[in-house]
Amino acid sequence: MLIGFFLGINFISHLEAQEASPNKETPEYRIGPKDILDISVYGHDDLIRTIPVTQEGKIAFPLIGEVKVAGLTTKEAADKLAYLLEKDYIYNPQVTVIVKEYVSQKVSILGDIVKPGPYYLKKPTRLSEIISEAGGIKSGNKKGRKIIIQRGGTEKAKGPEKKEGKNSSQNTITLDMAKLLVEGDTRSDIFLQNDDQIYIPDPNIFFVFGEVKTPGSYMIGDDYTIVKAITAAGGFNEWADTKKVTILREQEGKEAKILVNVDKALKGDRKEDIPILPNDVITVPARFF
């Protein structure tokens, strides 16, 4: 049974918690399509505007016409407008840009959470803030559990694996739930990015990512094996490398990566048709042509 959906990936990059050190500079909010901006020019009441950003990332402003602001901070957008106004129209304009409505950047949180669904990022937002906004974890016990983040932002995965496949994306981050929410480990409390998909695993599910027809999370049935798991996810798509499927599994407190030749399993090789355990993360990579 499908209970959550993630965009697939063709490889998994597990980031250590120290990579999310809070000592790193706090990222600034960047304007995106559909955000609504309040713009004013000091001393020019006729240039006070509330303007939506178009899907192309532009705004239409008096005197200067269309200006691309997507990807800019509010200060950068104000500086850009001031520069364009000063060129031909206003001496030393003092421009202010404020985001009135945040619409362009959102994340989704699913799974064992009180209020699952999409949430808009209105400022640089850490993982714990979104979990709190979503009502917190349903189940009380947090020891030994993971939080999985499917990162789907603008930064691309590096390495040859990124080349092929319909469901390719950047990477998946796994974090220790107890460290974040019980011990208060700030190094695990990473800043979220646009399009991040956060999953709070239920103890009785597994995940299938990558080159399958319906990537996502599924309930474990009786005697579930890798073949049954792939079948539950709709089977392989046309880009799948069926001989290099991986299972990420926690064993004795450590993460183990298991390589499986599902092609052999489909042909009756029982050694390759290994059992699936709760919270297994199955990844089907794309093959190279």
User: Tokens 């009502």 correspond to what residue?
Assistant: 135
Same domain membership, residue 123 and residue 88: no
Same domain membership, residue 218 and residue 176: yes
Task: Tell me the C-alpha distance between 167 and 213, whole Å.
Answer: 9
Q: Give the total number of structural domains in the chain.
A: 2
Give me 199's structure tokens.
Answer: 């999953």
Phi, psi (degrees; rounded to nearest 5) at 103: -130, -20
Same domain membership, residue 171 and residue 219: yes
Over residues 131-176, the pLDDT tens digits come to: 999 999 987 678 778 898 988 654 433 322 333 344 444 477 889 9
Tell me which H or E stretch contains 120. strand 117-120
> Would the pTM count as exceeding 0.75?
no
Residue 107 pLDDT greater than 80, yes or no? yes
| Candidate from 64-68, 141-145, 248-252 with smallest mean pLDDT | 141-145
Query: Does the residue 276 lie in any domain?
Result: yes
What's the pLDDT at 122? 87
User: Tokens 């937002």 correspond to what residue?
Assistant: 125
Q: In what order do the strands lie in the sheet with 106-111?
A: 117-120, 106-111, 197-200, 146-151, 171-176
| Candidate from 17-21, 200-204, 231-235, 265-269 with smallest mean pLDDT | 17-21
Other residues' Cβ atoms within 10 Å of the Cβ of residue 65:
10
Shortest CA distance to 111 belongs to which of 13, 200, 174?
200
What's the pLDDT at 97? 98
Same domain membership, residue 176 and residue 51: no
Q: CATH number, domain at 157?
A: 3.10.560.10
Same domain membership, residue 111 and residue 71: no
Same domain membership, residue 144 and residue 63: no
Same domain membership, residue 196 and residue 74: no
Query: Does the residue 30 lie in any domain?
Result: no
Residue 180 pLDDT greater than 60, yes or no? yes
Residue spans of alpha helices (H) in the chain: 74-88, 127-133, 177-181, 226-232, 262-266
Same domain membership, residue 94 and residue 110: no
Residue 12 pLDDT greater than 80, yes or no? no
| Candidate from 45-49, 94-98, 106-110, 155-159 with smallest mean pLDDT | 155-159
What's the pLDDT at 25? 59
What's the pLDDT at 250? 80
Q: CATH number, domain at 49?
A: 3.30.1950.10
| Distance from chain centroid for Cα 41 | 36
Query: How confident is the model over 242-253, as a mean pLDDT?
Result: 87
More reliable by pLDDT, 42 or 252: 42
What's the pLDDT at 27? 79
**Which stretches does DSSP call E strand in 5-116?**
36-41, 44-52, 58-61, 65-68, 95-101, 106-111
Q: How would DSSP label each residue in 154-209?
A: SSPPPSGGGSS-TT--SEEEEEEHHHHHTS--GGG-PBP-TT-EEEE--TTEEEEE
Residue 190 pLDDT greater than 90, yes or no? yes
Query: Does the residue 31 lie in any domain?
Result: no
Give the structural domain span for 172.
2-25+105-284
Same domain membership, residue 166 and residue 123: yes
What's the pLDDT at 69? 98
What's the pLDDT at 46? 96
Task: Find out whether 215 and 208 touch, Cβ atoms under 8 Å.
Answer: yes
Same domain membership, residue 54 and residue 15: no
How many C-alpha atoms does 148 have within 13 Å on its Cβ side? 30
- The vertex-258 CA angle with 254 and 260, nearest 5°, equals 165
Residue 109 pLDDT greater than 90, yes or no? yes
What's the pLDDT at 138? 86
